[in-house]
Structure 1
């Protein structure tokens, strides 16, 4: 059965898509306006390998406002053998999502190895409120969170010279907060995948 058909078969549950992305202090470039003959210059203090990772689920349910939940994490040291999110971080994010949404959850995620860690599998198997589906390999076009990352990179993070990791975190949070309150953006990211949330 196709993923869209399986998701449609689950009624009364929040449909959640989850994804993790990394953002570095090297600013993404974007087009901008300037006076003719004056090329805009963004000064950067040097290349930095410091990054932050963000895990974010987008949440959809017929008859409810679409939601975005996110957790940033600085990649400043190994945690459970990983610089980015560990399986415990994903577990805690799922618990927070369940508390905020207060209902059944159908989680759709990619095949990242940490998503299939033994500890996380054990946790999800013991939760009746949680059902998990995995996206096919190399199918980012089916995940609406990819649209969130695109909005963030083309908007709030483009052409910005980050002075410190805190500056990067602050700017990223500001962009995500803006997106959180724009349900039309969240719904648009879902529509880009060819899916919709039909009224109950």
Structure 2
């Protein structure tokens, strides 16, 4: 979210040509101990995308025990996630308490990245937005 000057009591309007209503779905992870982080584009913000992200994390940290803290989004739970965890015993998912985004390191990273990369910036295409966002990631 950015800031803009406007007369008190009025809603500012920022004209753009990008009224395409498209969105960039991104899954991410943070290793706060070592300072690593990564992101992955997904077709949708759903269980399928989450499971793909989990597979990337397992590959990235192959041979290590992984404790992953996630929020309570519906795609972080369910039968498909439970089956995935049964097959990948080195990955342990823990759920953060509801309504505590300050405990989620990824939320802090998203907020900083969105502010620094997208505030007061016009992206001609969704691809341009994607390039800007992903140049911040260590994938």
Q: Which residue number in structure 1 is paired with residue 7 of structure 2? A: none
Q: Contact between 1:29 and 1:159, CA under 8 Å: does it hold in 2?
A: yes
Deviation string 1:152-199 (CA, Å, 9 cap, x unpaired) is: 12211111111111111111112x23xx4xxxxxxxxxxxxxxxxxxx
Match of 1:89 in 2: 49
> Partner of 2:83 in structure 1?
122
Is the CA contact (8 Å cut-off) linking 1:30 and 1:154 kept in structure 2? no
Which residues of 2 match residues 1-200 of structure 1 at below 5 A?
28-30=1-3, 44-61=16-33, 65-73=34-42, 84-102=44-62, 103-174=64-135, 176-177=136-137, 180=138
The structural deviation recorded for 1:30 is 3.9
Q: 1:130 to 1:161 in 2, by over 3 A?
A: same
Task: Note the aligned Cα RMSD (angstroms).
Answer: 2.1
For residues 51 and 89 of structure 1, the distance between their equivalents in structure 2, rounded to whole angstroms, comes to: 15
TM-score by length of 2: 0.81
Runs of 4+ off more than 6 Å: none
Contact kept in structure 1, 2:69 and 2:95, CA below 8 Å: yes
Residue 130 of structure 2: SS of its match in structure 1?
helix
